[in-house]
Chains A and B, each alone.
Chain A
Amino acid sequence: MTRLELRNVRKSFGALEVLAGISLHVAAGEFVSILGPSGAGKSTLFQLLTGALKGEGDMRFDGAPLDDHGRHFAFMPQRDALMPWRRVIDNVTLGLEVQGMKRREAREQVAPLFAEFGLAGFERAWPAELSGGMRQRAALLRTVVQQRDMLLLDEPFGALDALTRAAMQRWLEGMWRRHRWTALLITHDVREAVSLSDRIYLLSSRPARIVSEIAVPLSRPRAAGSDAARQAAVLEAEILDTLLNPGADRASFPQTAQRRSS
């Protein structure tokens, strides 16, 4: 069942054309990534979805036009956006509080999740006391506890070192297998997209359009050593190739993936 569907979504800032007709869809329980170069307009697309910006084109959720913004999405901004003046647990409950839940009740609801997110014992810490990876997990926890229809994750691990990022990607894959969130992930890390997604949309540089749509029919988990991991590495190399040679003939695209031009 298709949940989110965008048709020919466009956005310009004055003379600067940022999004030049984006069409994509996300089905229920599907993990979809948008992979594109820096400055392409990925964050701008999320701003259109959350209603922070207005654009042109058709955006639908469950078939209905997306005008009552902020109902369907739990949004994780590009930088963790933790409030330094709130303790970790109060950062995590923020979305519930905004929805009108009492702070005590919200705390009771999120507290059991801290262990799963590797944050046990840090409920009362300040965000400044967390490591980079912990901050991202806290921000992710803040996002998922809102229990919205769909997660919008804007480069959740972009600011992390390579090792922590790899660990976080593996952790997130495990979390996703357990919870099966419907998620749209922005990234410019090819490996991240391949290891996490069911499908990947490749974005051109600005003005952004969808260059190709790649299914990732690999079994999970895709941890190192598995067959899936080997196939993922091949796919990863091929996507990288496509991104770095946008003009090249893309007919020889991976056997592991099916490409639909859009």
Chain B
Amino acid sequence: MERRRPLRVGRAWALYARRPPLSPSATSPPQGGRSAAAIAKAIPAAISFTLLLAAWELYARYGGVTHGMLPAPSRVLLQAWENRAALADNTLPTIRATLAGFACSLAAAFVLSALVDFLTPLRRALFPLLIVSQTLPLVAIAPLIVLWFGFGLMPKIFLVALVTFFPMMVALVEGFAATNKEISQMLAAMGAGRWRIFWLARLPSALPYFFAGLRISITYAVVGAIFAEYAGAAKGLGIYMLNAKNNFRPDLVLAAVAVSAVLTLALSGLAVLIHRLAMPWENAGSESRDGKPSGESR
């Protein structure tokens, strides 16, 4: 019978990841209107965003603050453009650190979660350790790691992995545990062994959890990389922000912040895209409700 219970971890993303897998999606809009509906959904966000920027712009211009204190968004944009070469030069290392760290974290999370899935006692040994790792204050840890590993890529990878490994690990372990009991039981009756059941049922069952975790932790990854660079680096958005601050250039700090925001959005957009491509069955239910068997057209 089923050996595990769902994990209880009091983190927002864990709740997020616990959404029911593969419910024939109630959220997906009716056939044909998907892109139009997506645009319609984005309108409120666009309005609030524009209003905020406009208010900021007005306040910065007419509110009696110097641009050394609070630069207007237009000035941030202008300065970003003028310093585009330096910004790009510092963005690349951040991207590299983010992706390298995240890749390591994913690989480790995958291997360890699979191990934990096969050897349940291992979970009791590992999870307290992992939970403690999540309580470490990055502000204190980042400089220490730079002290130990130097200014190279290593400490960045380490910090990115530190902040993203746990969410991915929990998402995967929970995803494995969410496997339909009857499916595993049926596979066992068919003669499948544990490894076969893992491969045929547990792994695919974990995909929705995996992608929910991916979308959240990829944003942590960028923050982790910038933090690592802030603590010490030759190049990168983090060290660029630090230098701009020390030169009393809040406009450049904000320009770098904007770049990191765009980077984060792009990465989580990429995660959503991969999610869509990897799980084509997720939106399948809504297509044939009108009676047309899509099986025939394919």
A-chain residues with CB within 8 Å of residue B295 when the two chains form the complex: 88, 121-125, 129
Contact of B200 with A84 in the complex, beta carbons under 8 Å: no
Question: Is B186 at the interface (CB under 8 A from chain A)?
Answer: yes
Q: Is the CB of A98 within 8 A of B192?
A: yes
- Which residues in chain B, 143-200, are within 8 Å of chain A measured between CB atoms? 180, 182-183, 185-192, 196, 200
Binary B-proximity of A58-77 (CB < 8 A = 1, otherwise 0):
00000000000111011111
Chain A residues, CB < 8 A from B281: 84-85, 126-128
Interface residues of A in 128-147 (CB under 8 A from B): 128-129, 146
Within the assembled complex, what's the spacing in Å between the Cα atoms of A75 and B298?
Answer: 30
Of A47-55, A161-169, A174-182, A243-251, the one contacting chain B is A47-55
Taking a contact as CB atoms closer than 8 A, the residue among B189, B279, B280 that contacts A70 in the complex is B189
Check A98–B183 contact: CB distance below 8 A.
no
B190 touches A98 (CB 8 A): yes
| A128 and B204 within 8 A (CB) | no
Contact between B189 and A52, CB atoms less than 8 A apart? yes
List chain B residues, Cβ under 8 A from A85.
Answer: 22, 204, 207, 279, 281
Query: How many angstroms from the CA of A123 to the CA of B297 in the assembled complex?
Result: 11
Q: Are B190 and A146 interface neighbours, CB within 8 A?
A: yes
Interface magnitude class on chain B: 20 to 34
Q: A83-B204, A84-B22, A124-B295 given as contacts; is B188 within 8 A of A95 (CB)?
A: no
CA distance A88 to B295 in the complex (A): 9
Asked whether B189 lies within 8 Å of A126 as measured between CB atoms, the reply is: no
Chain B, range 195-213, C-beta contacts under 8 Å to A: 196, 200-201, 204, 207
Q: Do B294 and A69 touch across chains, with their CB atoms under 8 A apart?
A: no
Q: Could you say which residues of chain B place their CB within 8 Å of the CB of A69?
A: 189
A261 in the interface, Cβ–Cβ < 8 Å? no
Q: Tell me if A113 counts as interface (CB < 8 A to partner B).
A: no
Cross-chain pairs A/B with CB under 8 angstroms, 27 sampled: A50-B188, A50-B189, A71-B191, A77-B182, A77-B185, A79-B182, A83-B200, A83-B204, A85-B281, A94-B187, A95-B190, A98-B187, A98-B196, A98-B200, A121-B293, A122-B295, A122-B296, A123-B295, A125-B294, A125-B295, A125-B298, A126-B281, A128-B22, A129-B287, A129-B288, A129-B295, A146-B190
**5 smallest beta-carbon distances between A and B, as pairs:** A125-B295, A126-B284, A128-B285, A77-B182, A50-B189
